[in-house]
Amino acid sequence: MRNLVTGGAGFVGSHLVDKLMRKGEEVICLDNFLSGSRLNLRQWDGHPSFKIIEHDITHEIEIEACRIWHLACPASPLHYQKEPIRTLKTNFIGTLNMLELARKSNAKFLLASTSEIYGNPKEHPQDENYNGSVNPFSERSCYQEGKRIAESLCFDYQRVHKVSICIARIFNSYGPKMLVDDGRVISNFICNALNNKPLCVNGDGSQTRSFCYINDLIEGLTKLMDSNYNKPINLGCDQELKILEIAKLISTKVSSKTKIVYKELPQDEPMRRKPDINLAKKVLQWEPRTDIKKGLDYTIEYFKNTL
């Protein structure tokens, strides 16, 4: 089976490529290396079933595939806010180009959407019927509105061109292969703790997130692609933790004398984020299995070897 993975050199994409390659499938990876790294895929260099093409998906390309896993888009605020217009173009024009490939190849199409489409939610936990509360002119909106338009495009390709789609609304995930300097909270805390630097908590750290270990997420994505479910579905961990709790947990695990410092809360930082994953449990028989403490141990081990 020929798979096209956009954003395959990124954090989630490279784990997905690993899983597909281990299953013996053929993988073509499209990436412009904006927020990903070739190193994440180096174990497949020279493998006859693997090909990596340096390409920006905002430009058209002709490739045939049976399955398109559309993940290309910087996921860390640090990256997507650096070039907001490019982020919007990736989500709109890039998704349009990839959906055109799906239409031409009659390929099944999976969009990696995000919990950010719920914005700063007024409902907790968020289920798939909640339409979100997004500020269209905040610094996060290039990502949030970008992903919302990407979802709309998928549905219109399904309605108009009968493209077979599935949409994963991914909540915060973590694990090995996150970039050292990409500004995501878990990698940030771990790298700072390992370097004996302070852990910076926004506000008083009472805002919550729920973190899903990468292997669980990849299992959810593959189950979704294998299913016939064609509406958005939340994939994430429903165990809610305060950011301050995460900081304390990591600083204890790294056993450094790390200090926790408090910074001003950024504009439009969501205060609570917790998925309702009942739909995924029912439709995909999926739920995360990795305990946060175990997942953090694996991730800390990775960064100890990387730094």
* Binding region for ligand NAD (CB under 6 A) out of 5-13, 43-51, 244-252, 280-288: 5-13
Neighbouring residues of 29: CB distance < 8 A, sequence distance ≥ 6? 4, 5, 6, 8, 9, 13, 17, 41, 50, 51, 52, 53
| 292 part of the interface to ligand NAD, by CB under 6 A | no
Of residues 80, 118, 130, 143, which has the active-site annotation? 143
| 16 part of the interface to ligand NAD, by CB under 6 A | no
In single-letter form, the type of residue at position 167 comes to: I
Paired tokens of 111: 């969009």
In single-letter form, the type of residue at position 10 comes to: G
| 94 part of the interface to ligand NAD, by CB under 6 A | yes
Neighbouring residues of 70: CB distance < 8 A, sequence distance ≥ 6? 6, 7, 95, 98, 109, 110, 111, 112
| 173 part of the interface to ligand NAD, by CB under 6 A | yes
Inter-residue contact 140 to 79 (CB < 8 Å): no
User: Which is nearer to ligand NAD, 85 or 160 (by Cβ)?
Assistant: 85
Give the shortest CB-89-to-ligand NAD separation in angstroms.
Answer: 7
Q: Would you call 143 a catalytic residue per the annotation?
A: yes
Instruction: Scan for tokens 């009659």, then name that residue.
Output: 106
* Binding region for ligand NAD (CB under 6 A) out of 3-11, 122-130, 255-263, 273-281: 3-11
Give the shortest CB-255-to-ligand NAD separation in angstroms.
Answer: 26
- The alpha carbon of 1 is separated from its chain's Cα centroid by a whole number of angstroms, namely 24
Which residues bind to ligand NAD, rule: CB under 6 A? 7, 9-13, 30-36, 56-58, 71-75, 79, 90, 94, 112, 114, 170, 172-173
Please list the active-site residues: 143
